[in-house]
Amino acid sequence: MTIHKLIDGFKSFRQEYYIDQPDIYKDLVEKGQHPEVMVIACSDSRVNPSIITQANPGEIFVVRNVANLVPIYRNDHNCATSACIEFAVRDLGVKHIVVLGHSECGGIKRLCEHKGIGPERDLIDGWVSIAETAGATDLEGFEKFRHVERAAITVSLENLVTFPWLKRRVKEGNLELHGWFFDLEAGNLLTKMASGEWNVLA
């Protein structure tokens, strides 16, 4: 059963990071965490940023939500994503923020289809409406889905710079924003270039 597999997984993790390499967590406890990179990823079980980038403990600060979305800045105490962004930027001083989207995203599919299609939901439609403008396209069906998956990353990158202290750091050259897209089927990682084109990174 999966739950037992996870407990066994923790035992393997402890062997690797506490017994075989005792300095890793000793340092992370004594010196604290100093991740240089924040990753904003989807909650999708197939796109765990630590697994797909093979990051070590302490290397990436992660927030995950439905469709890896960033809302526009406002004083909303209930938005976990915004609070994570503030902590990453103002307290941890991360040098990079990666918005990591992916293909076959259920949240984006919902955004593309929710008007009249699919079951009633209480909360998801309101959340994915953050990327409503990404859905404004003449494309239809699968092509629309493919387009909106990437356009939603652009919306999140644009929304990031509505956070005033984040925008300041970008302007000063102390923070770099990245749009990444993980193609599940091809096994590729793409990045959004300044020109707006998407190029294969790896």
Closest among 190, 128, 184 to 156, alpha carbons compared:
128
Is 178 among the residues known to form the active site? no
Q: Is 46 a catalytic residue?
A: yes
Strand order from edge to edge, sheet including 60-65? 60-65, 37-42, 96-102, 176-183, 188-192, 198-200
Distances 7 to 10, 22, 162, 188, 197 between C-alpha atoms, Å: 5, 20, 41, 30, 43
119/173 with CB nearer Zn ion: 119
Distance CA 113, CA 54 (A): 34
Instruction: Give the nearest distance from C-beta 171 to Zn ion in angstroms.
Output: 30
26 vs 46 by CB, closer to Zn ion: 46
- For Zn ion, the closer CB: 39 or 89: 39
Is 91 annotated as catalytic?
no
Nearer to Zn ion, 184 or 201 (CB): 184
Catalytic residue among 14, 34, 46, 121: 46
In contact, 91 and 153? CB cutoff 8 Å: no
Q: Cβ 157 to Zn ion, closest distance in Å?
A: 16
Could you confirm whether 125 is annotated as catalytic?
no
**Least distance (Å) between residue 35 CB and Zn ion:** 22
Residues that bind Zn ion (CB under 5 A): 42, 44, 105, 107
Least CB distance to Zn ion at residue 118 (A): 15
Buried b (16+ CB within 10 A) or exposed e, 3-38: eeeeeeeeeeeeeebeeeeeeeeeeeeeeeeebebb
Beta strand residue intervals within 49-183, DSSP E: 60-65, 96-102, 176-183
Tokens 């609070």 correspond to what residue? 83
**Is 110 considered catalytic here?**
no
- Among candidate residues 64, 102, 150, 169, the one labeled active-site is 102
* Least spacing, CB of residue 102 vs Zn ion, in Å: 6
**Catalytic residue among 64, 105, 110, 169, which?**
105
Q: Are 36 and 96 in contact, with CB atoms under 8 Å apart?
A: yes
Q: Which is nearer to Zn ion, 35 or 101 (CB)?
A: 101
- Catalytic residue numbers? 42, 44, 46, 102, 105
